[in-house]
Structure 1
């Protein structure tokens, strides 16, 4: 026990300040999340497709792309004309619908025009809008989620909110919008919590390794403390009375109260940085190809791309068939099956039978697909609000498919499902019934993080006191005359 106490003491000197930062920043993160891409923002920058400027149909665009396995084709209305976005499992092309020339954004002027369309939709002043040369990444776009969009044009409006948006050079999509308030609060929230400075986060392997080891060591150190606390409580047989005095007594009491949360928080944080060390899964791109099946893109008629009054038309391969979705807003769509005849689907969404047919291309003996209940907060969400997510269970593996777009959103084996539940439950308290009572969940998060912060802060003070005592003792021993 003496060795364990010594380890906990000096472990605490190193990690209590880190714990205090994690708990304080966790409260900030709950109220102001890190800026991320938004379907609403992307749509705000789009214009209605002008049919007169669509010179070629999607079949011609697919042929011109040179992509062997096309899974999706999007036609969007952009400020410089309608654009085709053709994607496969590992390839992507942007072509102008008028002449099938390269449609990537290559000038600041075009990026500003796209940003102006967003500004008009949002009622922002564009008089002082400006953009520099395209950037590879910055603090807000360093995540790998933006790799397919780089380089990015960052457009600043110099408005009262300090709005800045990012235009993908590859597609022309508005992929990120930030404000001065969100940026400032995230420095004390997500950036502190994740230890997320750009120079470090840009080196993904170094960053994930650092966070993995820090959270593992922090969890072990907290475990030492719990063992010591419970042993002292039992040996002295004094109930909940602290076997210490002063600040150490408060640290002891906070530790006993907060121990389950602190251990769960540290453990789930460590799990979140797994990065395939233990929870390796199969590459979902192969499954996406199987679900799509073999689609005959040449069967699409030249007039397919001449829809009026919509901002985006998307064709996607699903179960060997091609579907067309027309969207005038992020919240609504019309969905058609294009073969053998063009058929409008009721409700504008895929049905369970079509999901089963597509899954049949992937595996045999799967259970019938069913819509995931809204109370299942561990499931991923569709980019279209309130669209159903279907779950198909094939043996040990779950496949979650977007009922609006046919996209394979997630593929989970048993360990991955356990991880998701553990992380969601232990790190963010995202489990039923708290998810049905957001105010109660918020109160609990703030209370538990506050308790953890107070507990960690007492450890910081005790650790600093112990460190100063040790330094003074060392200094006296060095100056003592023999």
Structure 2
């Protein structure tokens, strides 16, 4: 008959052998997590990209956008139109329905050929003026380029630069733009940081189901081991009275004693970190949106290529220059059927160029009334509430450069709209760009708490106090690492004892 003692024995055995199997990985997860607080996985931040671009100016800069759009097979299907600089030349970049990218030389109006080695070299040198580079060939995917955002640009040219940071640049084989920069310090730290933390040595490409399930399985194993260890630690601690040795713990041997004590002190932290790491993988899609998603096409009411502002490109640039704005990129957009231009400077600040009556003017933000009216088209459900946030809330917040969310636009103020759909979706719209920058339904909000909060301690007030938060996380990580490291020593001893026992039985 199964008894409580049998149940406890089973928990002891589960903790022992899952600990033997996963103790090294858990120690490495804790250590690499501390590194990731300060050095994140490589990414090209918007400000890095924009600051490397020259100003767009001059009356002879560009042919009309209508001329460039003639190179598209279906201009009315073009979802994105951007005027930027590629390999030192002003260029129109189109994103067509389905995600295909096209580039038109804005000076000549001719379709740009696919980039070759020379274009990749010019683009890299324009990104890092004064530096020379060596082409290392092309790669479909490597340890620094797993991001799905790079998929339209693959394969990627690799350029090793001789700048002081020994930067490794990746250039799109579709557009010729620099899409990733990885300085030497980031490469070195990532070997013991994000690359190790996410077990990227086993990942193959941006979409790798085998890798995803491997991480899910390892995280589940670690969670089971940590939870079982918490039970064992509590059962073995004398909260009232003492063992014969006079101690609260029955263990006299140094490693066992401190594994028990650090487990009681930091076991909850370990459980929450490993469990939230499991949740980060969205196992079985439990945090995927369960209902309809915001209909951005209905919000826009037209594609960027089908409805164009009635102002020429050179006139729009002159208008921005007269307003004192240092334009580095210009994008054609549509909001509620109304076409407009969105300009960005080297710091990522934006300006809206839209019509006021029969004239075009430069504005810092959209009118909130216009945004609210257009927002109602995002869902076929009523709006429950609208509000303008002047401070971050639990779902809309800004993260530091090391975070995987560092490139996300999170400006204030922001318009927050909650809908009466089954998922009670919250939508955040930027008055600066008119863009839907974030939407979260009930399932995604649950995932935010079970992953982001438990893993990163990222409430807005925590993120405002950066160094105290980082200091506390480092101290907790030291304790959790001590727990894991003593587990590694004990696991090694247990494994060697098991192997010697099996060897004696065979001989």
TM-score by length of 2: 0.85
The answer to whether the aligner puts 1:22 opposite 2:29 as a matched pair is yes
1:393 to 418, 440, 456: 418
1:131 corresponds in structure 2 to: 135
1:172 corresponds in structure 2 to: 176
CA distance in 2, matches of 1:173, 1:369: 39
> Residues 322 and 405 (structure 1 numbering): CA distance in 2 closer, same or farther, change over 3 Å?
same
2:459 to 421, 431, 437: 431
The answer to whether the aligner puts 1:220 opposite 2:230 as a matched pair is no
> Cα distance, 1:2 vs. partner?
1.1
**Which structure 1 segments of 5+ residues have no match?**
none
TM-score by length of 1: 0.89
Higher helix share: 1
Task: Indicate the SS of the match to 1:153.
Answer: strand
2:4 corresponds in structure 1 to: none
1:160 corresponds in structure 2 to: 164
Q: 1:467-478 counterparts in 2 under 5 A?
A: 467-478=495-506
The answer to whether the aligner puts 1:333 opposite 2:333 as a matched pair is no
> Cα distance, 1:409 vs. partner?
2.5
> Cα distance, 1:302 vs. partner?
6.1
CA distance in 2, matches of 1:5, 1:106: 61
Residues 149 and 168 in structure 1, CA contact (< 8 A), matched pair in contact too: yes
CA distance in 2, matches of 1:424, 1:464: 33
> Residues 161 and 79 (structure 1 numbering): CA distance in 2 closer, same or farther, change over 3 Å?
closer
Q: 1:62-461 counterparts in 2 under 5 A?
A: 62-65=69-72, 66-88=74-96, 90-91=98-99, 92-103=101-112, 105-120=114-129, 125-126=130-131, 128-197=132-201, 200=204, 204-233=208-237, 238=242, 241-246=248-253, 247-274=255-282, 277-281=285-289, 287-294=295-302, 297-301=306-310, 303-306=312-315, 307-308=317-318, 310-338=327-355, 341-344=358-361, 346=363, 348-363=364-379, 364-367=381-384, 369-376=386-393, 378-379=395-396, 381=398, 386=411, 388-395=413-420, 396-461=424-489
> Cα distance, 1:260 vs. partner?
1.6
Structure 1, 50-59 or 352-361: larger mean CA deviation: 50-59
Residues 352 and 369 in structure 1, CA contact (< 8 A), matched pair in contact too: no
> Cα distance, 1:367 vs. partner?
4.1
CA distance in 1, matches of 2:63, 2:450: 50
CA distance in 2, matches of 1:99, 1:282: 48
The answer to whether the aligner puts 1:7 opposite 2:7 as a matched pair is no
Task: Indicate the SS of the match to 1:329.
Answer: coil
Task: Indicate the SS of the match to 1:34.
Answer: coil
> Cα distance, 1:169 vs. partner?
2.8
> Cα distance, 1:182 vs. partner?
1.0
Structure 1, 2-11 or 226-235: larger mean CA deviation: 226-235
> Deviations for 1:193-221, whole angstroms, at most 9, x for unmatched residues?
11112754556111111101110121011
> Cα distance, 1:443 vs. partner?
0.9
Residues 149 and 171 in structure 1, CA contact (< 8 A), matched pair in contact too: yes
> Residues 442 and 41 (structure 1 numbering): CA distance in 2 closer, same or farther, change over 3 Å?
same
What is the number of residues matched between the two proteins?
Answer: 473
> Cα distance, 1:179 vs. partner?
1.1
CA distance in 2, matches of 1:332, 1:380: 18
CA distance in 2, matches of 1:185, 1:297: 46
Task: Indicate the SS of the match to 1:301.
Answer: coil
Residues 286 and 443 in structure 2, CA contact (< 8 A), matched pair in contact too: no
> Residues 326 and 119 (structure 1 numbering): CA distance in 2 closer, same or farther, change over 3 Å?
same
Residues 71 and 289 in structure 1, CA contact (< 8 A), matched pair in contact too: no
CA distance in 2, matches of 1:292, 1:372: 23
CA distance in 2, matches of 1:253, 1:37: 43
> Deviations for 1:17-68, whole angstroms, at most 9, x for unmatched residues?
1110000111111111111121122113322335555553224434542244
CA distance in 2, matches of 1:172, 1:377: 38
Task: Indicate the SS of the match to 1:433.
Answer: helix
CA distance in 1, matches of 2:241, 2:112: 75
> Residues 204 and 50 (structure 1 numbering): CA distance in 2 closer, same or farther, change over 3 Å?
same
> Residues 417 and 372 (structure 1 numbering): CA distance in 2 closer, same or farther, change over 3 Å?
farther
Task: Indicate the SS of the match to 2:450.
Answer: helix
Task: Indicate the SS of the match to 2:230.
Answer: helix
CA distance in 2, matches of 1:383, 1:22: 25
1:57 to 38, 58, 64: 64
Task: Indicate the SS of the match to 1:353.
Answer: helix
